[in-house]
Amino acid sequence: MTDPRTLATRLDEAIRTAHATTQLTSEVPLSLADAYAVQRAGVDLRSRRDDPPVGMKLGFTSTAKAAQMGVFDVIAGVLTAGMRVADGGTADLPLIHPRIEPELAFLVGDGVHGGDLTTAVVAVAPAAEIIDSRYRNFSFTLEDVVADNASAAAFAIGPWQDFTAARALDLGNLGVVLEVDGTVVQAGSTAAILGHPLRALEVCARMVREHGFVLPAGSVVLAGAATAAVPLTAGAVVEASVTGLGRVTVRAAS
C-alpha cells in the first residue's frame, strides 16, 4: 500500500487548513488494517506537535449513527489533548463541516490489562463530541473514516461521577438530550449505545487487543453517540444532558 504517512499527511493537511479532501479509497485500496495504520500515522503527526493521545473514542455504536452515516461496523479513534474543550468552553472554528452529538464518557483508572475494562473504570460523565469528517460531503467508506481517526475533532466532558455510585442509576437506560440554543434537537437513551453503554468498554478492550490502542490510567473513553449528530453552526450554544448524570455545555466560536 501507499506509505501510511503519505495518506496521513494528506488528512492532516485537511485538518490544518479546514479544507475537505477526496476519499482515500477512491484512489488507493485500503484494508481495515491499512486504515488503522494511516490513523496511527496521523496521531503520530499530532503527537510530534505536542498534541499527545489522551484516550479513545468509539464510532457507530448506535444504530442512529450507523444509519445516519451508512457504516454499520463499530470503529475506534484516538482522542488527543488538543481536542479537549472545557465544560462551558468554546470550540475552535473553523472546522470543515462540524457536527455535534451527545455521548457518555468513561474515565479509566489503573489496572487495564486488555481484559475487563469495566473493573478499571473509575468515573462516568455526560459528554459532547464534535466530529468533522475530512472528506467532502461528510461521506466515506468504513476504511476512509477509520483512516480519518473516526472524524474526531473536539470533545467536552461534564462533571465526572464516581463510577460505583453511578452504576446504581442503571446506566443502561438513561435519557439523553441534545439542545442547541435552548431547543431540543435530539433525544434518546443510553440504551442506544450497543444496547448498554458498558458494552462499549468490551469493544474498547477488543480494539486494544486487535488494533494496538492503549489506555493508560487517566485515559478518557467516549462510548459513541446515543443519537444522530446535528450540524454545529458558528455561535451555537450546545448542551448535552444525561438523566441523573448532569450536563455539559460547549459553544461554537462565532
Judged by the rule CB under 6 A, the positions of this chain that interact with ligand OOG are: 57, 59-60, 65, 69, 101, 129, 131, 133, 145, 150-151, 224-225
Least CB distance to ligand OOG at residue 168 (A): 26
* Full DSSP string of 144-157: HHHHTGGGEEEEEE
Q: Which of 146, 205, 225, 250 binds Mg ion (CB under 5 A)?
A: 225
Q: What is the dihedral of CA 197, 154, 209, 196, to 10 degrees?
A: 10
Least CB distance to Mg ion at residue 77 (A): 9
Burial environment of residue 244 by CB neighbours within 10 A (0 to 12, 13 to 18, 19 or more): middle
Degrees, nearest 5: CA angle 107-109-110: 155
Separation of CA 84 from chain center? 11
Judge whether 136 and 21 are in contact, CB under 8 Å.
yes
Task: Give me the 92-121 binding string for Mg ion, x by CB under 5 A, dash otherwise.
Answer: ------------------------------
Q: Which is nearer to Mg ion, 4 or 156 (CB)?
A: 156
DSSP H or E run through 250: strand 246-252
Q: Which is nearer to Mg ion, 121 or 228 (CB)?
A: 228
Judge whether 80 and 43 are in contact, CB under 8 Å.
yes
> Segment near Mg ion (CB under 5 A), from 168-176, 207-215, 221-229, 231-239?
221-229
> Is residue 129 part of the contact set for Mg ion (CB under 5 A)?
yes
Alpha helices, H only, 49-139 = 63-69
> Is residue 220 part of the contact set for Mg ion (CB under 5 A)?
no
Q: Which is nearer to ligand OOG, 109 or 230 (CB)?
A: 230
Q: Which is nearer to Mg ion, 68 or 243 (CB)?
A: 68
Point out the residue whose Cβ comes nearest to ligand OOG. 59
Please choose which of ligand OOG, Mg ion, none residue 106 contacts, taking the beta carbon within 5 to 8 angstroms, the exact cut-off set by kind.
none
Least CB distance to ligand OOG at residue 143 (A): 13
Q: Which is nearer to ligand OOG, 149 or 161 (CB)?
A: 149
Place of cell 461496523: 73
C-beta atoms surrounding 165 within 10 Å: 10
Q: Which residues contribute to the site for Mg ion (CB under 5 A)?
A: 129, 225
